[in-house]
């Protein structure tokens, strides 16, 4: 969602009518296919760290075919999505005009994610490659996911314009925030089965137990995957997904990873868009602050904090969050528009090439 939204917004602000997407398969070489296959095999064997390393090495082993180079040649602006997309694009830069500007959409600060999760011995190789690429002159604008990452990229790549565009992806039409009950808390979970950002079953069960013990009237709603004791809602189209969240008061923003997150947690902003109050795991709070949100360290801490608020209070706090993120989005669009005006050449717009990186 973030990729498509931000590339479309850049195209709109740059006055470009066509977006050409190029995937990693278009850049694959024999070596990159071997690395991809090795990664799949290691994943099947449960070797997490080697799997991650093979995945990232794949994006350094791709090549630029004549077909891809010809397609990029017709662009007035290149958009590299994710650090992986930037590494792929670098394979073509020697065959493109030197003044063809590149916009890099940074999901995270690259040294923290994805490379911070790789074996330490590999960090230097990846970091040198990216640092040389950022300082090589082709990248003219970095769109960071948060002001924190903007600061980091400004220090990493002096002289390149950097703008912050937080991960606030608004619905196509306004949400109805008046469907929240006054006599019961609706607590939203966004589940990605097997993912590190989904609360484990034992955590969900403990929350329910603690809230019941304290006499809190509540209902758990789990979107995207099942959770113990929760009403299950399957994955929905974007606007319907946000409207479903908008019927609740609280959004639990959980992560089980062992390092603080770079970038900004999209779930956290989705909860705010939908008029929820996010309750964030303490490793999942980076990025722009919200007027109404809380951090927790474990299920006991989370139950303690939820228990202190009534449904009416949380509904009003959630509406405050929704108003704020709409303003945050408008400010980000204004900043991005100003940066693009400096960047885009004054000629009839031609296709913009966005490079989504395969995950």
DSSP string, 107-158: SS-TTTTTGGGS-GGGHHHHHHHHHHHHTSS-EEEEEESSHHHHHHHHHHST
Q: Do residues 80 and 105 make contact, with C-beta atoms less than 8 angstroms apart?
A: yes
Measured between alpha carbons, how far is 107 from 262 in angstroms, rounded to an integer?
Answer: 8
The per-type count for the chain, helices as H runs and strands as E runs, is 13, 12
Q: Tokens standing for 277?
A: 């109050």
For position 355, what pLDDT does the model report? 47
pLDDT number for residue 350:
47
Instruction: Quickly state the pLDDT bin for 123 (edges 50, 70, 90).
Output: very high
Average predicted confidence (pLDDT) for the chain: 89
Note whether 144 and 16 are same-domain residues: yes
| Average pLDDT, integer, range 216-237 | 95
Tokens encoding 53: 């390393």
Mean pLDDT over residues 69-98, rounded? 90
- Evaluate whether residue 346 is within a structural domain: no
Flag whether pLDDT at 354 surpasses 80: no
Task: Determine, yes or no, domain membership for 305.
Answer: yes
For residue 194, the domain's CATH number is 3.40.50.2000
In a domain, 359, yes or no: no
| pLDDT surpasses 70 at 223 | yes
Q: What is the side-by-side strand order in the sheet with 231-233?
A: 231-233, 218-223, 185-190, 250-253, 277-281, 294-296
Tens of pLDDT, residues 314-338: 999 999 999 999 999 999 999 999 9
One domain, residues 215 and 290: yes
Which pair of tokens denotes residue 301? 């801490």
Angle at 270 between CA 265 and CA 271, to 5 degrees: 100
Mean pLDDT of 245-249: 98
Q: Cβ distance 234 to 327 under 8 Å?
A: no
Same domain, 44 and 107: yes
How far separated are the first and last CA of the chain, in Å rounded?
13
Q: Let me know whether 61 and 160 are in one domain.
A: yes
**Residue among 340, 352, 350, 346 at smallest CA distance from 141:** 340
Query: What value does the CA radius of gyration of the chain take, rounded to a whole number of Å?
Result: 22
Q: Is residue 289 part of a domain?
A: yes
Same domain as 201, residue 161? no
Range of the domain at 234: 185-321
pLDDT band with cut points at 50, 70 and 90 for residue 147: very high
* pTM score: 0.90
pLDDT tens per residue, range 148-202: 999 999 999 999 999 999 989 999 999 999 999 999 999 999 987 655 668 889 9
Residue 220, beta-bridge partner list:
187
pLDDT digits (tens, 9 = 90+) for 300-313: 999 999 999 999 99
| DSSP summary character for residue 357 | P
SS3 31: helix
- 114 preceded by a cis bond (ω within 30 of 0): yes
Closest CA to 11 of 336, 228, 253: 336
Q: Per the domain annotation, does 329 fall within a domain?
A: no
Three-state DSSP class for 92?
A: coil
- The answer to whether the beta carbons of residues 100 and 75 sit under 8 Å apart is yes
Question: How many domains does one find in the chain?
Answer: 2
**196 and 153 in a common domain:** no
């Amino acid at each position: 969602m973030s990729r498509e939204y931000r590339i479309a917004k850049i195209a709109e602000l740059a006055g470009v009518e066509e977006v050409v997407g190029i995937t990693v398969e278009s850049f694959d070489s024999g070596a990159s296919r071997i690395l991809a296959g090795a990664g799949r095999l290691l994943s099947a064997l449960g070797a997490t760290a080697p799997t991650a390393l093979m995945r990232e090495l794949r994006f350094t082993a791709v090549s630029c075919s004549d077909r891809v180079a010809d397609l990029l040649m017709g662009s007035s602006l290149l958009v590299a999505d994710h650090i992986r997309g930037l590494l792929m694009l670098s394979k073509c830069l020697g065959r493109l005009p030197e003044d063809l500007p590149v916009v890099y959409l940074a999901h995270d600060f690259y040294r923290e994610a994805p490379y911070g999760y790789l074996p330490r011995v590999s960090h230097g190789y990846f970091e040198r490659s990216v640092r040389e690429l950022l300082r090589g002159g082709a990248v003219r604008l970095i769109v960071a996911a948060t002001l924190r990452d903007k600061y980091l990229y400004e220090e990493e790549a002096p002289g390149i314009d950097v703008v912050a565009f937080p991960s606030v992806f608004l619905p196509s039409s306004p949400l109805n925030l008046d469907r929240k009950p006054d006599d019961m808390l609706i607590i939203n979970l966004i589940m990605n089965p097997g993912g590190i950002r989904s609360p484990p079953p034992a955590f969900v069960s403990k929350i329910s137990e603690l809230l019941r013990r304290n006499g809190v009237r509540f209902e758990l709603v789990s979107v995207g995957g099942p959770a113990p004791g929760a009403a299950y809602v399957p994955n929905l189209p974007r606007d319907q997904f946000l409207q479903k969240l908008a019927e609740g008061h609280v959004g639990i923003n959980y992560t089980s990873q062992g390092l603080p997150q770079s970038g900004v947690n999209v779930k956290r902003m989705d909860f705010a868009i939908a008029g929820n109050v996010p309750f964030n795991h303490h490793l999942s709070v980076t990025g722009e602050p919200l007027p109404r949100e809380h951090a927790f360290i474990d299920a006991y801490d989370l139950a303690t904090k939820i228990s202190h608020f009534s449904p009416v209070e949380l509904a009003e706090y959630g509406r405050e969050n929704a108003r704020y993120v709409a303003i945050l989005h408008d400010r980000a669009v204004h900043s991005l528009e100003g940066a693009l005006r400096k960047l885009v050449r004054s000629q009839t717009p031609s296709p913009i090439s966005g490079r989504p990186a395969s995950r």
